[in-house]
Amino acid sequence: MGERQLAGRAHRRRLRTARHGQRLDHRQPDSHPLFLYFFGHVSNAVALCVRAVYLALLAVGWAGVTAIGAAVAWRVAGVRLALGTVAAFLACGLLGMWVPTMQTLALMVVAVAASVAVGALLGLAAGLSDRMDRALRPVLDTMQVLPAFAYLLPVVLVFGIGVPPPSSPP
């Protein structure tokens, strides 16, 4: 390796390292590229979607969110659930928990939308391809007999709870 290349590497390393050895890009130097680049972009996309839904819910206001929730509940299950939805949203507002409720609702909307999209794509792939059906069948059969917390706990430990913080670009 030439002297110029070594000097360039050392310069780049100095640029990435702040005082007292703290890295500016907050990444582990030996992390796998899949986690550094692919999941970093997925995390940023999820955070962006959750933020957009959260801001939309706040823009609609408490009356709008309550009316939309009551209308959906009334259409899906009837008047009793619509009244329960109105009571629940009013209780959240009166107890001063409106902002955390909207954060949770935004997380749930994005999670359900992503789950439906991935599930629909996997279902279509399994329906159109025997090979994909044979690959998914043991996984789905195993997940069906396990309690939800048995496979959700490792997911929570790996990915954490809540909105992922946006990562810095590479």
Output the pLDDT for position 43: 78
Instruction: Choose the weakest-confidence range: 10-24, 26-40, 67-81, 135-149.
Output: 10-24
Q: Which residue has the tokens 């899906």?
A: 76
Output the pLDDT for position 164: 57
| Average confidence score pLDDT of the chain | 80
Residue 146, pLDDT > 60, answer: yes
The pTM of the whole model exceeds 0.75: no
H, E, C per residue of the chain:
CCHHHHHHHHHHHHHHECHHHCECCCCCCCCCHHHHHHHHHHHHHHHHHHHHHHHHHHHHHHHHHHHHHHHHHHHHHCHHHHHHHHHHHHHHHHCCCHHHHHHHHHHHHHHHHHHHHHHHHHHHHHHHCHHHHHHHHHHHHHHHHCCHHHHHHHHHHHHCCCCCCCCCCC
Output the pLDDT for position 165: 59
Question: Across residues 55-68, what is the average pLDDT?
Answer: 93
Task: Return the structure tokens found at 99.
Answer: 């902002």
Task: Return the structure tokens found at 84.
Answer: 């329960």
- In angstroms, the CA 116 to CA 122 distance is 10
Q: Which residues pair with 23 in a beta bridge?
A: 17
Residue 11, pLDDT > 50, answer: no
Residue 46, pLDDT > 90, answer: no
Residue 25, pLDDT > 80, answer: no
Give per-residue burial for 138-154: e unless 16+ CB within 10 Å, then b.
eeeeeeeeeeeeeeeee
> Quick one: pLDDT band at residue 13, thresholds 50, 70, 90?
low
**Residue 81 and residue 74 in contact, taking contact as beta carbons nearer than 8 Å:** yes
**Residue 73 and residue 81 in contact, taking contact as beta carbons nearer than 8 Å:** yes
Output the pLDDT for position 59: 94
Question: Across residues 36-46, what is the average pLDDT?
Answer: 79
> Quick one: pLDDT band at residue 22, thresholds 50, 70, 90?
very low
Q: Is 94 exposed, middle or buried (0-12, 13-18, 19+ CB in 10 A)?
A: exposed
Output the pLDDT for position 39: 74
